[in-house]
Structure formats: structure tokens, C-alpha cells
Amino acid sequence: MKPWAILLAAGQGSRLAAAADGRAKQFLHWRGAPLYWHSARAMSRSAVVAGIVFVFPQNGHAEHEERLRELHAAEDLGIPWLTAVGGEMRQDSVRNALSVLPADVRHVLIHDAARPFLTPALVRRVCEALQRGACGVIPALPVTDTIKTVADGLVTGTLPRQALMAVQTPQGFSSDLLRQAHAHARETGLSVTDDASLLEALGHSVHVVEGEAANVKITNPDDLALLQEAPALPRPCTGMGYDVHRYGPGRPMRLGGILIPAGPEVVAHSDGDVLLHALTDAVLGCAGLGDIGQHFPDKDPRFDNISSALLLDQALDMARQAGVRLCHADMTVVAQTPRLAPYREEIRKNIARLLALPPACVNLKASTEEGLGFTGRAEGIKAYAAVTAWAQDCPALVPPSPLQRDI
């Protein structure tokens, strides 16, 4: 069975509160979502976590749980989640979360919500060690600084750096052993800073896996610089379109906005330009805006015999509003008849004009299917289009709430 994760988001973050306008660090926003949500994303994307328990402060717990529902509604994690009430100490919060875990959970991950840069790869590394039989697993990195013990402003000793490691979360455990360790700590009054120390106190071995340098914990005011947004860079995106039209009494054949006098008529609701329809679908795909049927349904009388160039223009405008700028288009028309070679350059240049691209950035190919299929039997025509574009970074998937305020 896959482990569940416990996401600790109940701390007060006193060292950071003044610089963060009194807010606990786990509720600060980065890239449109609270820090704890970024950790939840990494857990869900690892494909090795079965569910998550979010631990929120007792004060405001209901509001934080409602916010969690909003986040999940906007971006489904794909795994179940529960909430638990935080305690006075970190150990109390973990113990409360263990009490709400499903009874059959054999392993559990404990992660600090103030480590938002967690990656799915690290989650998998910890879980793999648990699957190999480890009862406790921690990610850690070698210490690079010289570490000294100090008392009253004086050095009392220098620790051997080669034997030291800086420990991170998530830490993985046998859930039964972790419950026993927490019970022992409660009985003896043992207070520790991580859960691995509780297993160590019972004499159990804790295995170490490689941590991640980027998996830092937001702790001090200087750490807020890590949450500052870098200027958004364009990202490449592609869109693919396909369309087909049947030959028969209907519209004169047009391809790429160019009339093809030698071509058979096509059955269509609009002007039947199969190439511009495929291109329109590709443009919409680039911007993640669905398909041509959603925006221009063939049952709508407004689009009866409409120019496909107008539909393409509207799709281009929608893509521009979404921050998408086309830079290249590659198209293929598949038909047994007519021969398209005499029209190829005229079509290509007209499409370049419609897309506002240099002709060198538009490519058009024509092919037959050697007598195979409906196109080979000259029963119809089809077209493929692939467009490449630059897009601004995706907008935040998470809607704002009364609890959300940017740094």
C-alpha cells in the first residue's frame, strides 16, 4: 500500500511573522497558491502517495479547511485528503494527524509545509527506501560549513564535518513504529525537532537518502527573497488540428482561403475550408481553448456559409488574449483529387497573411493516400495543421480568497 503524507501547516512561524505582516509562513503565497499547496502538489504528482492529511492551526481551522476545498476544486490533487487540528508543539500536531489516518496505512511521510520547493523525485526516493524495508527514512545533505559548539560567546569545540548532515523533510516511517515513538515521547516528556529523533530514542535505525539543495525551509526574513517572482519568460507551446470534409453537392472548394476551381464541391455548414478549419483547431489548441466545434458549432445558423478566414481570425484574437503569439505553422492536405501543386504557393502566402507571419514561417504539404481509405477513393479531403507559438506563463490556477494576500 502507498503511504499517506502528513503536511504540517500548524506552526506559528514567530521568527518570520514580523516580516510577513503577522502571517504564518505556510500561508504565504507563492505563484498564486499558499506554500503548503505547493508541497501537496509535489506529493500528488509523485504517484507514490495515497493521500494527504493537512494539519492546520486550531485557531481558524474551519477557514483554512474551506480554503483547502477551494484549492482542490480549482486544481484536483487526484488523491483523497483529510485535515487535523494542530497542537501546541510539532509533536502534538503529528500525533493528532496520525489519529485521523486510515487504519490500514502502513507507512507515513511527515513534511514541513514551509518547504515549498519539494520535488516528486525526492518523495519517491524516500518511499522507495520504505519499500525496501526501512522503518525510518530521512533525506539529508552533507554539511559544507565548519560547525562549532559555542557557549557564552566562546567556542567550546569543533565537530567533525565529515560525520555531519543537514536533515530535511519529508521523512518516512512505519506508521505503527511512529505511533509507538510518539507515545514513548509523551510518557517520558521527550521533546525533539524531528520525528526521526523519536525512533532513534527507541533504538531503531534510521536510513538516509540524498536530499535536495533546493528543498530549503522558509524560516527567516531573508528567506522571503526565495519567494520573489522572477520575470515571466515566454514558454514554447504547440497545437495540433485536424479536419475532414466529404465531397458532394454543397460549397465550392476553398483551401487556405483560396478558391480551387478544379476541385469538387464539399459538404459543409461554413464555406467548407478544411485547411483553415484544421488551422483554427491548432491555434485554439496552442492556447488551451478547446476546439472549433465548441466556439463555432455547425448547428448555429450564424455560421452558415461563413468565411473560415473569419473563424480563424477570431481564434487568433482569442489566442492573443490568452498571451499566445504564433511563430510557425506546418500543414498537410491529404486528397486524391484535385492536384494542389498549382495552388500551393498561393495558399501558403495567403495563410501567412492571415496569420501575420512571414511566408518563410508557413509550410504547406500535399499528399495522397495511394487509393486507400475515403480520401483514396476520392470521397473527401482532410487536412492536418501544427502550429508553434510563444506563450506567457500560465495564469494562477487558484482563485483568490479573503485569506490570500500577496507578500
Which tens digit of pLDDT belongs to each residue from 320-330? 999 999 999 99
| pLDDT band of 402, cuts 50, 70, 90 | very low
pLDDT tens digit string along 149-208? 999 999 999 999 999 999 999 999 999 999 999 999 999 999 998 999 999 999 999 999
DSSP 333-400: EE-SSS--GGGHHHHHHHHHHHHT--GGGEEEEEE--TT-HHHHTTSEEEEEEEEEEEEPPPPPSSPP
The Cα 339–Cα 71 span in angstroms is 54
Q: What is the mean pLDDT of residues 217-241?
A: 81
Whether the per-residue pLDDT at 16 is higher than 60: the answer is no
Whole-number pLDDT of residue 23: 67
Whole-number pLDDT of residue 399: 38
DSSP secondary structure letter of residue 161: G
Whole-number pLDDT of residue 69: 95
| pLDDT band of 396, cuts 50, 70, 90 | very low
- What is the four-CA torsion angle of 314, 237, 351, 251, rounded to 10 degrees? -60
Whether the per-residue pLDDT at 44 is higher than 90: the answer is yes
Q: What is the mean pLDDT of residues 125-148?
A: 96
Whole-number pLDDT of residue 21: 55
Q: What is the mean pLDDT of residues 383-405?
A: 62
The residues spanned by each domain of the chain are 4-145+161-227, 235-391
Whether the per-residue pLDDT at 404 is higher than 70: the answer is no
Residue 33's contacts (CB-CB under 8 Å, 6 or more residues apart) are: 71, 396, 397, 398
**Residue with cell string 487556405:** 256
Which residue from 160, 138, 133, 135 is spatially nearest to 215, judged by alpha carbons? 138
Question: Over pLDDT 90: what percentage of the chain?
Answer: 74
Whether the per-residue pLDDT at 19 is higher than 90: the answer is no
Please give the radius of gyration of the chain, using alpha carbons only, rounded to the nearest integer. 30
Whole-number pLDDT of residue 269: 83
pLDDT tens digit string along 271-318? 889 999 999 999 999 999 999 989 988 888 888 878 999 999 999 999
Cis status of the peptide bond prior to 170, with omega within 30 of 0: yes
Weakest mean pLDDT among 24-28, 47-51, 74-78, 257-261: 24-28
Residue 330's contacts (CB-CB under 8 Å, 6 or more residues apart) are: 363, 365, 385, 386, 387
For 326, the grid coordinates are: 504564433
The Cα 281–Cα 316 span in angstroms is 10
Give percent helix, percent strand, percent coil of the chain, each to the nearest 5. 35, 25, 40
Whole-number pLDDT of residue 302: 86
Whole-number pLDDT of residue 231: 61
Which residue from 82, 91, 119 is spatially nearest to 4, judged by alpha carbons? 82
CATH superfamily to which 4-145+161-227 belongs: Spore Coat Polysaccharide Biosynthesis Protein SpsA; Chain A (3.90.550.10)
Query: Please, what is the average pLDDT of the chain?
Result: 89
* SS (HEC) of 177-246: HHHHHHHHHHHHCCCCCCCHHHHHHCCCCCEEEECCCCCCCCCCHHHHHHHCCCCCCCEEEEEEEEEEEE
Weakest mean pLDDT among 69-78, 94-103, 229-238, 250-259: 229-238
Would 4-145+161-227 and 235-391 be classified into the same CATH topology?
no
Model pTM greater than 0.75?
A: no
Strand 51-56 with 4-8, pairing: parallel
| pLDDT band of 403, cuts 50, 70, 90 | very low
Exposure string (b/e) for 55-74, b if CB count within 10 Å is 16 or more?
bbbeeebeebeebbeebeee
| pLDDT band of 270, cuts 50, 70, 90 | confident
Whole-number pLDDT of residue 268: 85
Q: Which residue has the higher pLDDT, 392 or 96?
A: 96
Whole-number pLDDT of residue 406: 31
Whole-number pLDDT of residue 153: 94
The Cα 56–Cα 9 span in angstroms is 5
C-beta separation of 119 from 215 below 8 A: yes
| pLDDT band of 28, cuts 50, 70, 90 | confident
1-to-50, 339, 379 alpha-carbon distances in Å = 8, 61, 55
* Bridge partners, 267 (sequence order): 246
C-beta separation of 184 from 113 below 8 A: no
- For 235-391, give the CATH class: alpha beta
For 363, the grid coordinates are: 509550410
Whole-number pLDDT of residue 310: 92
Whether the per-residue pLDDT at 12 is higher than 90: the answer is no
Instruction: Write the burial class of residue 110 (CB in 10 Å: 0-12 exposed, 13-18 middle, 19+ buried).
Output: buried
The Cα 91–Cα 329 span in angstroms is 58
Instruction: Write the burial class of residue 165 (CB in 10 Å: 0-12 exposed, 13-18 middle, 19+ buried).
Output: middle
Element (H, E) at 130: helix 120-131
| pLDDT band of 393, cuts 50, 70, 90 | low
183-to-28, 84, 207 alpha-carbon distances in Å = 33, 18, 22
Whether the per-residue pLDDT at 89 is higher than 60: the answer is yes
Q: How far is CA 364 from the centre of its chain?
A: 34
For 64, the grid coordinates are: 483554512
Any idea what the Cα angle at residue 57 is, between residues 11 and 404, rounded to 5°?
90
What is the amino acid identity at position 78? G
